[in-house]
Amino acid sequence: MRTIEKSAPIMMTTIIGVFVLAVVFAGTGVVFIYLGASGTTDLSFFGATVKTTSAGVAALVLAAAVVVLAIRQVFSYMRFVVRDRGRDV
């Protein structure tokens, strides 16, 4: 059995877990916004800085970042699979 085929269940579990985590972050953000949670927050990642006084907005930004990073990783993995499809890796 090829290594790629062996790693598919682990990759799918990871992808699903990341998206579930992003949904939890987004849900938490919506709840925080609804409850009016506040606190000055500075989020800095990958050269971008987000300054907010709402904890809910910070959670939504984290959720968006997790989704974007997960999608980029999935596309990177798919590119690897397509490139090496004819070889036994």
- Give domain status of residue 87, yes or no: no
pLDDT band at 87 (very low <50, low <70, confident <90, very high): low
Q: Domain residues for 65?
A: 3-79
- Give domain status of residue 88, yes or no: no
Read off the pLDDT of each residue in 63-68 and give the average, rounded to a whole number. 83
- Give domain status of residue 50, yes or no: yes
Q: Which residue has the tokens 């500075």?
A: 42
Read off the pLDDT of each residue in 19-39 and give the average, rounded to a whole number. 83
- Give domain status of residue 85, yes or no: no
Number of domains in the chain: 1
Looking at residue 88, its pLDDT comes to 53
Looking at residue 72, its pLDDT comes to 85
- Give domain status of residue 86, yes or no: no
Furthest-apart CA pair in the chain: how many Å?
Answer: 55
Looking at residue 55, its pLDDT comes to 79
Give the tokens for residue 57: 């907005």
Burial of 86 (0-12, 13-18, 19+ CB in 10 A): exposed
- Give domain status of residue 31, yes or no: yes
Q: CA 63 to CA 13: how far, in whole Å?
A: 18
